[in-house]
Structure 1
Amino acid sequence: MAIYRKIDCRISNDKKFRELSVEGKLAWYTILSRRDLAPIGAFKASFESLAIEQRGNEYLNKGFEKAFGEAFLEALYELSSKGLIKYDPEAFLIYVPNFLRFNFPENPNVVKSWNSVLDSLPECDLTNYALAKSTEIILNSQKDSFFKALPKEFVEAFEKGYGKGFPEDFGKGLAKQEQEQEQEHKRKENIKEKNPPTTSGLENQSEDELPFSEPENQSISKTETVEKKAKRKTKAKQPCPFNDGDVIPEDFLKIAEQYLIANPQLLFQKMISYCKSNGKEYVDYKAAFRTFCIQDQERNRGKPSSGTNSNNSAPMPYEPPGGFTEDYYRKGCKFDDKGNILL
């Protein structure tokens, strides 16, 4: 089955990637394209084994083939020194810290399947660190369904604080190996010796973005987001401030006029009776009266006019079809043979 991963096409524009040696760029592509790279960006392998794998090129002669293997090994240490990967030389574990930022899981089921990752990774501090960082990325995405799907081992590593850093003695052996490799290369190439690195190990390395990254936006956890949001102040409901027989206030009367209420005082009294009899309370009684006006308008809309009007409907004057014309009045009168009206 084919396996696909995402690589940003702007990788060649990234400063860190441009500063890598040719072997370093090849090493970076090799790591990202490995089949055994777990979905959280970690896999078990030693730098030496990865370098040995590069010695099987048939088009290389024997002498250059050996030199290329050594150059590839040095390229792996180059990636480690720049913080692009983290490496445990004792447990033989390689981890890409920002892999998940650009290969985020498609759905919660993928996160749930990470339980199988635990069987392929050795028990070490770097594994706990990878689990904690993966949990942090999922948490910062603010997707509850993804966070609930996380295996408990990931959450436990995050709660124990493994994502904050490594133990102090972790990585010292690696730093020593890196220095020896760099010194050996300088002796062979007879180049001018540079200043020794100031970092003492992986515990001091910064967690930079991948070289195919876009500018990093500081993410905020759910807890921080909730704390920063101002709590909305909810107003308490108040008992009805009016009594039976009160005259409708002027501002209430203006609302009734907007909705063409025929008898605003009666509708105002209905609202008071409704609140008193049902124990109904409102935050804003002016808004409540507006609702009463809207409901009354909807009830009376489209009703046929009749001799008995509703309490709130305006009386409609009678007018015959076509209006009060001369023919209308003639029909109600009697005339003699000469056309004179009979009284």
Structure 2
Amino acid sequence: MSKRRYRKISVCIWNDAKFMALSNDAKLIVFFMLTHPDLTQLGALRANVPGLACELGMQFEAFDKGFQEVLQQGIVKHDGKLLFWFPNFLKYNLPESPNVVKSWHYGFNELPESELRNTILVGVKELVDGLSQGFREAFLKAFAEELAQASPNQRTENREQREEDIYGETPSESSSDSGVDLPAEPEPLLEPEAVKGKTKAQEEEEFLTDVAAMYNAILVDEQPEGRKLTKLTKLTDKRKKLIRARMKSDAAFRDLGGWETYFIRVHNCPLLMGDVNAWSADFEWLLNVGNMLKVQEGNYLPAKGKKAAPKPAGGSSVAAHNEDVFADFVEG
């Protein structure tokens, strides 16, 4: 889930002694990584230090020096190769629904395998354990295979790695960052009774529901006011038929990752998002076979070198939101 544009950063970060002890370069690196377009919904980033330095336009020596400060303060964790993780990211970006929890699995699968990846899995489960039953069941189902392979002892090891909160709050010795007391003894990560076999019909119904939820998450719920498509509130038989037809005609849409890619492409089309005029696409329009092909071929992307026309009064364009990006990121 690497293309999300809006995230929350608590203003308490400016009260945190560790963050304030950083040099200006190191603080810039923190904000750069937290707002990086490829940061997943879990607060994890697949990248490398030289590449990040190049993206930021900073000399490698200066970037590496600042990054070492960030590492020493425990604000971010690094596997020494290609994986970075902000342990407290999800505390300030909690999922809005169980379907969002399911969508985490797509981004997690894109992360390189390492000990840090296992640590991320354990840390995320600890946070979800503090949420309601629907969230816990969604997580157990989505990550069933990974949880079954993980070591129960990682829960205890992970607790020691999550002692400090970079946003200014220091949890007690008996609590995790989610504010939930941790068990005295490590528990098995996977609860087999929570993951039961489904019939093909049930699995298909859940898949159709997940596609609709992904549409809402990417093109509605996470968009600023004035730039979002019509929310999908009911998955009618007609809409289900459209999803099935696209799955039948294109194997990419038999996987939720294919739908995510498609909806992100729609998100990048100002015309479809309503930034050009009063019209915007809707779910059924986007699933029309002819329209879908045009979107995939980039027909609705703005011409190279041209900016999308501003939205009429009462709305706001992506550019306008980007000008005030930090205000949108900050959690009041």
Larger Rg: 1
Per the normalisation by structure 2, the TM-score is 0.47
Per the normalisation by structure 1, the TM-score is 0.46
**Structure with bigger RCO (C-alpha 8 Å, 6+ apart):** 2
